[in-house]
Amino acid sequence: MHPVTERFRRNYQDFWNTFRWFILIFVIAQLCDALSTCYFMGKIGWEYEFHPLIRHAARICGTIWGPMLSFAFKVVSGVAVAIYLRKYARVIFLATATTAAFAAFYNVWSTQTNSFITLNGVLALFGY
């Protein structure tokens, strides 16, 4: 059996029960980020999305389905990485949940205050 497959099988045993609260926090934070992204894009458009993959997903699939497909991808890939790196699963879930919670806050705050960071603005900070 391939070493990667063997590691997944070994790490998968009792994974859901052991990390259920971390997974729940992770999924809720990612969902808040996705829903706030839908809100953000509905108000000002997908063009202002900073993350290129989410921006392109919204451009192709729309301002609702794009962020929701990105949500599904982030949850599946996050869980897969956490299973593979089970020793660091708590850190992976909490770090990504914290980042997603901040992104959700930022989406709502920037929409309310018209204070959004654009890619061109970030590049200008570095002289590009």
Q: Copy the structure tokens of residue 51.
A: 């993350």
Does 31 or 107 have the greater pLDDT score?
A: 31
pLDDT at 120: 58
Q: What are phi and psi of 76, to 5 degrees?
A: -65, -45
> CA angle at residue 60 from 53 to 34, to 5 degrees?
55
Amino acid (one-letter) located at 104: A
pLDDT digits (tens, 9 = 90+) for 34-71: 999 999 898 888 888 888 889 999 999 999 999 999 99
The total domain count for the chain is: 1
Q: Which amino acid is at 42?
A: G
Q: Which domain holds residue 76?
A: 3-125
pLDDT above 90 coverage of the chain, percent: 66
For the chain, how are helix, strand and coil distributed in percent, rounded to 5?
85, 0, 15
d(C-alpha 68, C-alpha 117), whole Å = 22
Structural tokens at position 47: 């063009």
Handedness of CA 110, 113, 114, 118 (dihedral sign): negative
* The residue to which tokens 């850190």 are assigned: 91
Here the tokens at position 44 are 């000002």
- Could you give the CA distance from residue 97 to residue 109 in angstroms, rounded to a whole number? 18
What is the reported pLDDT for 45?
Answer: 87
